Amino acid sequence: MKKNITLVGLMAATMTIQAQNGGISADMLRQMRDAYQPTPSEKALHNAMAGTSIGVLAKNHEVLADFDTNFSNKVVSHGITNQRQSGRCWLFTGLNVLRAQMMAKHGLDDMKFSQVYCFFYDQLEKANLFLQGVIDTRKEPMDNKMVEWLFRNPLSDGGQFTGISDIIEKYGVVPAQVMPETYCSENTSHIARLVTLKLREFGLQLRDEAAAGAKTSALEKKKTEMLTTVYYMLAQAFGKPVEHFTWTYKGVTKEYTPQSFYQEFLGNDLSGNYVMLMNDPSREYYKCYEIDFDRHVYDGKNWTYVNLPVEDIKEMAIASIQDSTMMYFSCDVGKFLDREKGTLDLKNFDYESIMGTTFGMDKKQRVQTFASGSSHAMTLMAVDLDKDGKPKKWMVENSWGVESGYQGHLIMTDEWFDEYMFRLVVEKKYVPAKVLDILKQKPVRLPAWDPMFASEE
């Protein structure tokens, strides 16, 4: 009995010490309880929240009547795609931009590229990027920050515009009918888990062999054997990528390789003719930044970003739209999104009234505290300008299917654009000389784990 009393006393003393050192004390808890004295209306709201989604209760019905689908400047959309249950928004967005260009250039009524063809090589190249990264860091301990990042992120179905330039310039493209989607390409989570598990196993094997004295040449040979296994797994899930195919254009049937097809019908210099702009108020504007490992292939180059005020970015976006050219666009799509209407509006939801507090962080503070960042890529294709040429709202072509949002599109207010837009990729001809000059700077190199540059899904 004395033992129990002693134990209880010790626990009480420990709890007191913890409270004094930053824990929640009994007095603090009493203060919180006493402060919660809900009014009858607040009790009614609590009862509603007990059985209803906060998103439903917070929906601001006052803005429903403001839903306007008219735009002063709009690039014609040629059909909505659907990435299904996958994180391939970056790939769908990039291919949608190229599709529109090819249709306009060659007078086509319809054109769809095979996403799964490009995705196969994206996954294979990312596997190599990981394994070669393991070889490069083999002398570092497992708790080294870079080694830790590699093993945390051996593979992802997400990506950025770097994937468009890296993969397409190296492997080309093919029409959708040449290599159609599979269940695994539209539902990537299971195959991704299996390949990721295998890559981590392979990564440890490479480190073990390096520790045992294996030379670089032996490790490279072993890596090729490992990638052969990965290739097999991907081919089982997605199909073996085509090397040759026939396609009929203007009544003439011709044989192509994926590379020759791309060069004949598009031929864009994706790595040299496009500029990625970002609006990150947590870092200095009018500077050039490079993100380590921000590429999809090991022998590619890290993409370079120019950080600009959002108003500068808008000018280039408007110029591109007015010239009938769509753009790769990414944002924090989940914030204030009304999926049913297809709108992104800061007034869509009134969380402050429900929660009895304000949410006062600005964009810079949200980035710094991991509360916001680029999460999804779409195709920017319309802007509505007022009589003074200032944007009122924008529209993007999404890749969630035609039934999602407004006929497969999302419409955002200009205020939402300011707060949650992060990246835009534009052709150089729409970029002012003063911005192009920034690209001549030596980029500030940021680490691979920088929170602002997570993959877009």
DSSP label of 164: H
Query: Active site residue: 78, 89, 128, 279, which one?
Result: 89
- The pair phi, psi for residue 343, each rounded to 5°, is -120, 150
6 CB-near residues (< 8 Å, 6+ apart) = none
Three-state DSSP state, 360: coil
Three-state DSSP state, 368: helix
Please report the sign of the dihedral spanned by the C-alpha atoms of residue 183, residue 186, residue 187, residue 189. positive
The residue count of the chain comes to: 457
Query: Active site residue: 78, 296, 376, 409, which one?
Result: 376
- Only one residue has tokens 């403001």, namely 66
b/e map 52-75, b = 16+ CB within 10 Å: eeeeeebbbeebeeeeeeebbbeb
Tokens coding 249: 């254009």
Report H helices in 172-288: 183-186, 189-211, 216-238, 258-265
The C-alpha atoms of residue 58 and residue 63 are separated, in whole angstroms, by: 12
Residue 398 annotated in active site: yes
- The pair phi, psi for residue 438, each rounded to 5°, is -65, -30
The C-alpha atoms of residue 334 and residue 448 are separated, in whole angstroms, by: 23
Contact 270, 101 (CB under 8 A): no
- Tell me the Ramachandran region of residue 182: left when phi exceeds 0, alpha when psi lies from -120 to 50, beta otherwise: beta
How buried is 159 (Cβ within 10 angstroms: 0-12 exposed, 13-18 middle, 19+ buried)? buried
DSSP label of 64: G
Query: Active site residue: 279, 307, 398, 409, which one?
Result: 398
Active site residues: 89, 376, 398
